[in-house]
Amino acid sequence: MFDKIKKDFTTMTWVLIPVAIAINIAIGQIVVLLKLPVFLDSIGTVLVGIICGPWAGALTGALANTIWGLFNPDSLPWWPVAFFIGLVAGLCANAGLFKNWWKVILSGFLIALTAAIVSTPISVYLYGGITASGSSFITAYLLQTGQGIWSAVVSTSFLTEPVDKITTAMLAFAIVQGLSKRLVARFPRPENAEVEEGTNRTQLIIALVVVVVVIALGFLVRNMLAG
Amino acid sequence: MHERLSYYVKRDSALHRLNPLTKIILALSIVLVSIVSPWYWTAHILLLLVIVPLSFAGRVSREYFTSAIRLILPAAGFIFLMQAFFQPIGNTVIFKYLFLDVTQESLSFAFRISTRIAVMISAFTLFLLTTHPSELMSDLTRRGLPPQFAYVIISTLQILPQMQAKAQTIIAAQRSRGLDTESTFFKRAGSVVPLVGPLVFGSLVEVEERAIAIEARGFTSKSIKTSLHEIPDSLSDKIIRWVLILLVLLSIALKIWLS
């Protein structure tokens, strides 16, 4: 077991991790600049998960939050969330879920599910459910409508996480596809990044349309709940 | 967008002279005690009677208060307002506007949570103000942390400013070519790819070169490396660490006993 994990931590992995953390933070800041309603601050983590295995991804996530915490201490308590994002991304990649756009969307959804589950207890115990993030307005609204704190926090996460994490997974997949085969082969798990036949632009467009429809449905359901 | 990466202020004080491990345990135990303590006023007392005096002892009070105003006050203040308005607890309504109501109970809850957050951020700000990251890393490596971790943390701190500068350059370049980063939602969402692509591919290409370079310098060598810079670890450091650990265990025990 340990030897297997050790095999994923080659020098290439150790060198990729700092770059991935810097990518997380730099893209996170670009997204803030563009005023988009997502975070996209774990693309590097998912990337490491795909080409270096789940444990390398998990380590990247945990360290990313620790280092982010050096100048934004509010992000420190969330490191378990980042840890599991990297872990699940790596497990999905090992299971062959980063090989075409459909599967990537499924991975993104699985990552979102994990993130929602892991972040809930932190949010409830540390912040009483209402954190410093903008999505807390939804939680606050649900609390006002009389929902319990756990269900309010969980449903907020289920509304906000999938959009963010599916986009993250798709961007990470696109980045891996854009790298040269020679470079990817130097990392511990190049087989995770092999694309299935028939993966092309048309599939991406259909996949994107499906995602948009699902999100629109989500908003509809939310509005209906809000009544 | 460009933030100062290391808070560290080089001064000579009792707090600066403490061993880095002692300081990180100090910060962690302040945070843990403020979270698990069953008494309402613990966090407030810690903030006023422990953290503020420590900032004077470390001769970083001016820097601490600056960051308190810039960073801690907005974060804690936002959480205070959100909690006060939105926590649906209590019956004693003080203030009501539309569906928002502030009750006595939600106010006191908000005060507690936001002070707790302020304590958490303060403890780590103080730690970062008085500890140089590479000092912490070399101390932890000496104590048995794999040197790869030290590499990851120190190297991230070096890469990050370069990456942010590169991001600025890419944004400026793409804007000058007519990329729309400010108008409608779809235009802004569409400009993610032309901004992220060059940044990511540019930095990933360097990875292989760097791996070869550090490999050639004995990165994976298992022999123990000697350090040029000795970090002092006195007897009083050890005593402080044990006292702090005892205090944390005591407050956890109290919490369990009282609940």
Confidence of residue A162 (pLDDT cuts 50, 70, 90): confident
Residue B228 DSSP class = S
Tell me whether residues B181 and A34 touch, CB distance under 8 A. yes
Would you say residue A158 has pLDDT above 50? yes
Confidence of residue B1 (pLDDT cuts 50, 70, 90): very low
Residue A48 near residue A57 (C-beta atoms within 8 A): yes
Neighbours of A109 (CB within 10 A): 18
Domain extent listing, chain A: 2-226
Confidence of residue A93 (pLDDT cuts 50, 70, 90): very high
Q: Which of A22, A29, A40 sits opposite B156 (nearest CB)?
A: A22
Same domain, B183 and B81: no
A140 vs B77, residue with greater confidence? B77
Residue type, A98: F
Confidence of residue A187 (pLDDT cuts 50, 70, 90): very high
Same domain, B187 and B111: no
Identify the three-state secondary structure at position B218.
coil
| Average pLDDT along chain B | 86
Same domain, B123 and B27: yes
Question: Chain B residues with CB inside 8 Å of A27's CB?
Answer: 196, 199-200
Same domain, B254 and B155: no
Smallest Cα–Cα separation from B68: which of B127, B122, B8? B122
* Lowest-pLDDT range of A66-80, A179-193, B233-247: A66-80
Q: How many domains does chain B have?
A: 2
Same domain, B183 and B124: no
Look at residue A223 in the predicted model and tell me its pLDDT: 64
Residues 6+ apart with CB under 8 A from A73: B71, B120, B121, B124, B125
CA distance A110 to chain B (A): 23
Same domain, B123 and B66: yes
Residues 6+ apart with CB under 8 A from B235: none
Confidence of residue B98 (pLDDT cuts 50, 70, 90): low
Rounded distance, CA A115 to CA A156, Å?
A: 12
Same domain, B96 and B163: no
B87 vs A223, residue with greater confidence? B87
Would you say residue A81 has pLDDT above 90? yes
Section B23-33 average pLDDT: 92
Same domain, B117 and B85: yes
Phi then psi for B96, rounded to 5 degrees? -135, 135
| Chosen from B4, B136, B200 to mutate, greatest number of chain A CBs within 10 A | B200
* Lowest-pLDDT range of A60-74, A205-219, B128-142, B164-178: A205-219
Distance of CA B167 to the CA centre of its chain: 23
Confidence of residue B99 (pLDDT cuts 50, 70, 90): low
**What percent of chain A lies above the pLDDT cut of 70?**
93
Would you say residue A94 has pLDDT above 90? yes
Would you say residue B219 has pLDDT above 50? yes
* Lowest-pLDDT range of A88-102, A123-137, A166-180, B158-172: A123-137
Smallest Cα–Cα separation from B174: which of B199, B200, B205? B199
* Lowest-pLDDT range of A186-190, B110-114, B223-227, B232-236: B223-227
Q: Is B11 left (phi over 0), alpha (psi -120 to 50) or beta?
A: beta
- Written out in words, the top-level CATH class of the domain with range A2-226 is mainly alpha
Dig out the tokens for A51 from the structure: 């080409």
Strands (E), A66-153: none
Chain A residue with CA closest to B85: the answer is: A140
Look at residue A127 in the predicted model and tell me its pLDDT: 78
Taking the Cβ of residue A25 and every Cβ of chain B, the question of whether any pair is shorter than 8 Å is answered with yes
Same domain, B160 and B131: no
In a domain, B227, yes or no: no
Section A38-59 average pLDDT: 93
**Which CA distances in Å does B98 have to A134, A138, B21, B95, B106?**
21, 17, 51, 10, 17
Tell me whether residues B82 and A130 touch, CB distance under 8 A. yes
Residue type, A217: L
Question: Chain B residues with CB inside 8 Å of A42's CB?
Answer: none
Same domain, B171 and B252: no
Section B79-89 average pLDDT: 78
Q: B173 is in which domain, residue-wise? A: 146-216
* Lowest-pLDDT range of A64-78, A182-196, B150-164, B241-255: A64-78
Look at residue A180 in the predicted model and tell me its pLDDT: 87
**What percent of chain B lies above the pLDDT cut of 90?**
25
DSSP string computed for B38-70:
-STTHHHHHIIIIIHHHHHHTT-HHHHHHHIII
Look at residue B2 in the predicted model and tell me its pLDDT: 39
Same domain, B103 and B39: yes
Instruction: Number of helices (H) and strands (E) in chain B: give both, helices first.
Output: 12, 2
Look at residue A225 in the predicted model and tell me its pLDDT: 63
Chain A residue with CA closest to B216: the answer is: A11
Same domain, B45 and B110: yes
Look at residue B177 in the predicted model and tell me its pLDDT: 92
In a domain, B222, yes or no: no
Residues 6+ apart with CB under 8 A from B157: A67, A70, B5, B6, B133
In a domain, B197, yes or no: yes
| Chosen from B93, B102, B156, B185 to mutate, greatest number of chain A CBs within 10 A | B156
